[in-house]
Amino acid sequence: MEHSVSAFRISRSAAILVFCALTAYAGQGLADMHREWSWYLGDPGRTHYSSLKRITTRNVTRLKPAWTYHSGGKAQIQCNPIVVDGLLFGISAERHVFALRADTGNEVWVHKPAHNTGSGTVVRGVLYWSSGDDKRIYACVENHIYAIDALTGASIDSFGNAGAVDIKAAYERDASNLYVSSTSPGVIYGNTLIICVRVNEARPAAPGDIMAFSVLTGEREWVFHTIPHPGEVGYDTWPPDAWKSSGGANCWAGMSLDEERGIVYVPTGSPAFDFYGADRIGSNLFANCVLALDAATGKRIWHYQTVHHDLWDRDLPAPPNLVTVMHNGSKRDAVAQITKSAHVFLLDRETGEPLFPVEERPVPASDVPGEEAWPTQPVPLKPPAFGRQLFAEDMATNRSPEAHAYVLDKLRAARNTGPFTPPSLEGTVIFPGFDGGGEWGGAAYDPKTGMLYVNASEMPWILTMYKVQPEGGTGQEATVARVYAENCMLCHGIDLKGDPTLEFPSLHGMKAKFASGAMAELIRQGRERMPSFLHLTEDEVNTMTQYLLELDEQKAAHMKTMLETSSEGESGERWYAHTGYHRFVDQDGYPAVQPPWGTLNAIDLNKGELVWKVPLGETPELAAQGMTRTGTENYGGPVVTAGGLVFIAATKDNCIRAFDKKNGKELWKAPLPAAGYATPCTYEIDGRQYVAVAAAGGKIGSAEGDAYVAFSLPKRGAR
């Protein structure tokens, strides 16, 4: 098949440059591995570590921008780029795959995935594979896997169908009308590609099956059922036949690989629906687990569940770090898994046994009808949590007397008895919040010292449940209320106004933005963070379209009243959803809790001790008023180097920073064109070390952009 011009672009001179780069780097072996960043998050063990040390604690203040690449479009970029053979590979704001000269930022090629409809989500990176002269990039965009020639950007047509594999088609259950997308890179073991998937967090949802494909043909090689089938381990932790209809328990955050042992470590998320589990009574294996699977066959070796019957969206948010620690006088290979609740589970790499004690603590029961919260939850005793665990009254903001009083009133009205307080009808404080604690940026591990570096957000949220069956409407309104409550309200809220800080837009004013046909297509196919709703009937789509295009304040107020008033209906069936994702903020929009709102932490995994904690980020308008060192919510992770540094962007204040890894002292800070909600990479070319990061903002109210920025020390002789 002849490649279309729209699929990729490359200049003749660029091709020559790439060929020269590949030739120059050929045969240099492991020495290059230390100079490159050839895997997502640095290496198969996801350590975020680099042995480079040309940039040190003594000269880091001399770092300057080396190049900036504008990838096109404006949207979030959360990509951790990889660097192989002098080329940097990444994903644009429009989810185009590209290759740059890693020393200059000059574009070499751009590949536009054929099935990129704009209805998926961000892509956090790509994978590299080679065999002789066959060098490939694998990228997952929406529900397709693409194989791309690393030299030219052309599709590898022998892979799948013209270079692409439809992930939905690989499911054993019909997933054609369900939301499936891929966010984070998986791993490649030999010639086997193991992928991650994101699925709907409400009902209906696809199951989170872990699937592996041939890198050569795209054929599925094996599957592991995270919602067990009859006869499989864990089947009895769900209601009978749950595998036929339940969803979630997926790995969206990335995986780690022990190449020597042939084990892939898979962190899984919560079952769907996230916050009400009356249809999934039980502990729900293999949701919320660290899974150790045979990378060649998919067979389970061991598992460790970090949350039983999850009701708090406590997905395992990042790939575990593969570490080697000194424990009780001997070396132990282990897995360090961070959590949204700001804990670290340190597990033996071969058995899954915790190296430090984990206590099964009794937790409160649910008072939502039909729910059966699990009576205990596992809590590591060491290392200590790297984020606060209870929002006590003496922690309420003291930014102003008015803000303090406002927050206390709300805090006292909510259910707030500490970690694992179940969702409730009056509202439950979730702290750390839904976005951590730890998040998808992950942690950095220094193999020379046994130190783990992890950033945390300390933002409380409030989760409020309600009964889905609404009253007070007939005809169109009744249909809209039911469909909206079951599918839309968790993002757009009970007042249909969304939350711009969470990238959930208001549904008011749709008529000025969409024609009827375009609105219906948006509902069916989704766009950006909005999933597709192909499971809705044509009548439901048309009814929703008409209602939303005619929505005004009066209609919205009536709908809110309907949604707040509910009954069990004739069938007596009960189903509860939540009123949306609500950060707990004061009347001016600042976090309800006292700072720090974001931190960088150093944890000694050998001893299980927190060594230092420092605020991460600044709130400029508050700093101007004298309220400094607040820290900010943060997305994206750190990188640690042999040069004594921890590099991290992640903050709302559009900066990248370098910290002294020994004591947490901030040594360097530089502005970015937008917030860098991504994990940096570092690499060396011609004796010069670079630090590169995607800087496109787009979260928590930040302006969107399209940039990648690289920093390096000035060339010798330059000022």
Q: Which residues pair with 710 in a beta bridge?
A: 67, 692
Segment 379-408 shows an average pLDDT of 98
Instruction: Choose between 9 and 596: higher pLDDT.
Output: 596
Contact 316, 252 (CB under 8 A): no
> Which pLDDT value is given to residue 571?
42
Contact 133, 156 (CB under 8 A): no
**Length of the chain in terms of residues written:** 719
Measure Cα distances from 421 to 286, 426, 461 in Å.
Answer: 22, 12, 13
Q: What is the sign of the dihedral through the CA atoms of 80, 85, 86 and 89?
A: negative
Q: Which residues contact 113 (CB under 8 A, 6 or more apart)?
A: 95, 96, 97, 139, 141, 142, 144, 146, 164
pLDDT digits (tens, 9 = 90+) for 504-543: 788 888 888 888 788 888 888 777 667 778 888 888 888 8
Long-range Cβ contact pairs of 228-236 (< 8 A, separation 24 or more): 228/285, 228/286, 233/285, 233/300, 234/285, 234/286, 236/282
> Which pLDDT value is given to residue 19?
42
Which amino acid is it at 372? E
Contact 667, 659 (CB under 8 A): yes
What stretch of H or E contains 492?
helix 489-492
Contact 442, 338 (CB under 8 A): yes
Secondary structure class of 106 (helix, strand, coil): coil
Q: What is the sign of the dihedral through the CA atoms of 317, 318, 322 and 327?
A: negative
For residue 458, which of 588, 655, 599, 286 has the smallest C-alpha distance?
599
> Which pLDDT value is given to residue 717?
55
Quickly count: other Cβ atoms within 10 Å of residue 283's Cβ. 18
Contact 476, 677 (CB under 8 A): no
> Which pLDDT value is given to residue 22?
44
> Which pLDDT value is given to residue 205?
95
> Which pLDDT value is given to residue 6?
35
Contact 603, 451 (CB under 8 A): yes
Is the confidence at residue 267, as pLDDT, over 60? yes
> Which pLDDT value is given to residue 274?
96
How is residue 171 written in tokens? 């499911």
> Which pLDDT value is given to residue 101?
98
Residue 120: band (very low, low, confident or very high) from pLDDT cuts 50, 70, 90: low
Q: Looking up tokens 């970690």, which residue turns up?
A: 419
Please state, in angstroms and rounded to a whole number, the distance separating the CA atoms of residues 581 and 518.
27
pLDDT digits (tens, 9 = 90+) for 339-369: 999 999 999 999 999 999 999 999 999 999 9
Q: What pTM was computed for the model?
A: 0.90
Query: Buried b vs exposed e over 473-503: b needs ≥16 C-beta within 10 Å?
Result: beeebebbbbbbbbbbbbbbbbbbbbbeebb
Instruction: Choose between 590 and 559: higher pLDDT.
Output: 590
Is the confidence at residue 616, as pLDDT, over 50? yes
Q: Quick one: angle between helices 538-549 and 516-525, nearest 10? A: 130
CA angle 139, 145, 151 (to 5 degrees): 45
Query: What percent of the chain has pLDDT above 70?
Result: 91
How is residue 345 written in tokens? 């589970």
How is residue 237 written in tokens? 């932790």
Is the confidence at residue 469, as pLDDT, over 80? no
How far is residue 531 CA from its own chain's centroid? 16
What does 157-193 look like in DSSP terms, one character per residue? TTTTBTTEEETGGG-SS--TTS-EE--S--EEETTEE
Please state, in angstroms and rounded to a whole number, the distance separating the CA atoms of residues 679 and 453.
13
Is the confidence at residue 4, as pLDDT, over 70? no
**How many secondary structure helices (H) and strands (E) does the chain include?**
9, 44
Burial of 243 (0-12, 13-18, 19+ CB in 10 A): buried
Segment 682-705 shows an average pLDDT of 95
Q: Which residues contact 292 (CB under 8 A, 6 or more apart)?
A: 263, 264, 265, 266, 300, 301, 302, 303, 335, 349, 352
Strand ranges for 282-348 from DSSP E? 289-294, 300-305, 321-327, 330-338, 344-348
How is residue 489 written in tokens? 């309200």
Q: Looking up tokens 């570096």, which residue turns up?
A: 453
Is the confidence at residue 406, as pLDDT, over 80? yes
Contact 242, 230 (CB under 8 A): no
pLDDT digits (tens, 9 = 90+) for 195-235: 999 999 988 999 999 999 999 999 999 999 999 999 999 99
For residue 669, which of 697, 650, 644, 642 has the smallest C-alpha distance?
650
**DSSP β-ladder status, 289-294 and 639-641:** unpaired
Is the confidence at residue 9, as pLDDT, over 50? no
Q: Which residues contact 89 (CB under 8 A, 6 or more apart)?
A: 81, 82, 83, 97, 98, 99, 100, 126, 128, 137, 150
Contact 497, 509 (CB under 8 A): no
Residue 562: band (very low, low, confident or very high) from pLDDT cuts 50, 70, 90: confident
Instruction: Choose between 143 and 7: higher pLDDT.
Output: 143
Q: Which residues contact 256 (CB under 8 A, 6 or more apart)?
A: 44, 45, 46, 187, 264, 265, 319, 320, 321, 322, 335
Is the confidence at residue 300, as pLDDT, over 90? yes
* Structural domains of the chain ordered from first start: 470-565 (1.10.760.10)
